[in-house]
Structure 1
Amino acid sequence: MPNQSIPPAIFSSYGLSIENCSNLSDDAEEYVTAAAEALEDVSKNDPEGVPKAPNKRARHVITAARDLIKSKKGNAAIALVDGLPQQFQSKRPIVLVRLTAHWQMGQSDKLAEEAERAIKLFPDDPQIKPYLSRKAAMHITETVHDSFDRLGIAPETLVDALNAIDASQVVNLYPDERAKSLSDLRNEPDPEDFAKRLRNGGVIARYMTDLLRHRPNKERNSERDKTLLRYSRQAEKLLKEVDASIMEKAVADGHPVIVTSAHTSLNVSLSMDPFASLGLPVIRVANQGGFSNPGFERFVVNDDSGPFEFLKLVKRIRKNQLCVVIYPDGAKSRDVCEVEVLGRKVPIGPGAEMLAWQGKAATFFVSTHWNGRSFWPRLTQGPSAFDFENREEFEKSFHEFYADRLTELVLGEPEDIGSGGGFIPVLTRLAPRKR
């Protein structure tokens, strides 16, 4: 039960049965204490305190759970929502809290179970459907090695393993319709070969991401566990660091820098250390909390509080020289912009250009590329806000620059498109723009 410094009455006030939480374990006291603290913070910010209406009390619980997820306390978030009365357990916000928390904590089995239940409750929900592919991705290391066993191969090195991956034996991250749409956009002479390379590249990207983020437990001694541990060490060497030297002049001249990217290849897994070596605070804007890295600060912008939180960052960059890493193609903003990629309009978030303009910053784009032996990052310089007197002209220039980078990714090596996140699903389902 919670620490005595936290009044246990906070739970009964909200009608919660925390002692029945399915997530309780040896760490139960820690989870429940964190849950109680988060809930108390929410109630203190409401003039009514603890609401009388059950629905409003449930909203307080959801807000507290989201705050816990932002603080990387997913177990406490699940403890909190599990304590709600049964009539709330199948509500969409509660389901999303569980999905997000399980994903953040890398709990593949629990995510799989929750995703299957969620898709039955909300079959066409655009926020819930992606968790089915995330569920598959979280099992991808095991699935890849199961395929090696079936094929009777045992790659000695990670490079050998990546080149041996056959997506048809693992998981199809690109349905036929999406692969065909990309093939048509590229005017591919051999659509079948393109689809094969595209799908293999998607599995390679997911597999590498898993190795980089979830290092196997050293205490597990099966042959597969030993192999995965060896591969995970090699993965860090295969993903090369960015050469940030082209950013040095802008930094030396006192300007902030905005590093943009897209959700392709291993872009989201790049080390922030080269940017930190420039001597500026490094802030990475994300839609969810995730894996900690001492080299940068993660600035989470999501839910209804997203715009307000983002304005805090805008104020910071007006006064401070920062390096901000942001992925406009993963925008959750309601106020999206549009860029044209191969004749199709693709929505992107306005955050990058807003930060650049307000901070009079230089902009860049970083991407990663698989050459069969390693992943090499490419850093390209974009327009600098301090070179423009008119905001609209700068935004136009930035949009053209970003659209050109997305176009290069789509027309580049199929393997570098990655696992099909970010702008790829939008691009492949949009009708060609009418001229």
Structure 2
Amino acid sequence: MARGGAGNKRSNVASSSFRHFHTLQMGLKMLTSLKFWAAVLVVALVLGFYQLAGRETFSDVLAKEKEISAAHMGHQDSPADPSKTKTHAAKADAKEGLNLVQDAKGQQEEVEEDQDSEKDDSQEVEYHVLQMFTKAGNNRGLIDKFKLCFNSMMQKSTIRPDRGEILHLHLVSDPDSRPIAEGIVGTWLQKGLLKVRYVSIMAFLPFQLSFHDPAELTETLYPIVQPMQEKFSAGAKSYYGDSIFFLSVGMHQVFPAETKRIVQLDCDLKFRSDVRELFEMFDRFESGNVIGIAQEQQPVYRHTFWQYRNEHKGTKVGDPPPDGQPGFNSGVLLLDLDRMRESGLYNSLLDGNVVRNMSEEFHFKGHLGDQDYFTLLSYRYPQLFHVLPCTWNRQLCTWWRDKGYQEVFDFYNDCAGEVNIYHGNCNTPIPDG
């Protein structure tokens, strides 16, 4: 009996051990099964969801990031957490820096495009025209004169951009006068018949107009033209008053070398012919000619050189054409800037001592600016000048007729031929047509 009970006990223990082993074996199989790991993953996701339920979602974080960045860029109050503030500020600064780099790259590309455009423009033929248009704000008469001159020039012009020809306008104009000039030339800019550029320190505008600031030009001109200003100006002591009226004398030293020829015009003109034909006069210059200019059509210099004429009987100084030397009128000027730069003779005559000596020799004190200087030079150095036909500067002023010169006036004022440009000097009305 005793032996039989022990045997049963051993048998039960063995059976129990077998069942535990089998359970363990089944568990290991479950651990290695796909279903088991799928179940573990589901449990983990559920636990993770509840774990994060009280925290910010990704969208919340992104929204806050944008809010902080906007606050930094707009200089608003900083967020409470300093560490986050520094982080977001750094990100914003980095973003701003990237924008600056991109902007700089874009600007560089624009510069390169402009340079390419300039290269293309260099193939064009430019016709440079300069006019002075200053103190026009309350001067209705000056505005009307400039409008008539400019519009008549453009209406008669056959210079066309579609043929690679550009009319390049330069205006010496103060800030108050510039908007008025822009309004007048704007129509022709829209038509694409005029090309203008800024060359002063002023910024580029949507359209490019070559405005030259009179104050800037005066600063540069004054050392060059001071001797002429002393002798040929009513306001010789006015630094800013009269230097600009000698611009033509020293323009070759003021304008860039790329500007080789330029036509300078008074405002009181009316074109009846193509400005192209005026530029063609440059081709008629003889060797040594640097300036094209028409003769004065009144006995102005017969009067102002009276003492020299009295001391030099038989002189042609101040006499009327065709054999005399009546002097010049600077209402229309052809300036060959290249020749002016290269002429040793012309540049030597800019010296103050030379100007003073010539003025004393001819007993001359004028008040008409550059044309006085050119007239004086012509009496000693006529080879510097190409005389334009009178029809290209048909002067209408008759002031001197009633000042003791009625008998000789018509000898000066006679001008045969079809008028190309009317010059309404001394406020003389210009005929219609």
Q: TM-score range, shorter-chain basis?
A: under 0.3
Calculate the TM-score normalised by the size of structure 1: 0.22
Larger Rg: 2
Calculate the TM-score normalised by the size of structure 2: 0.22
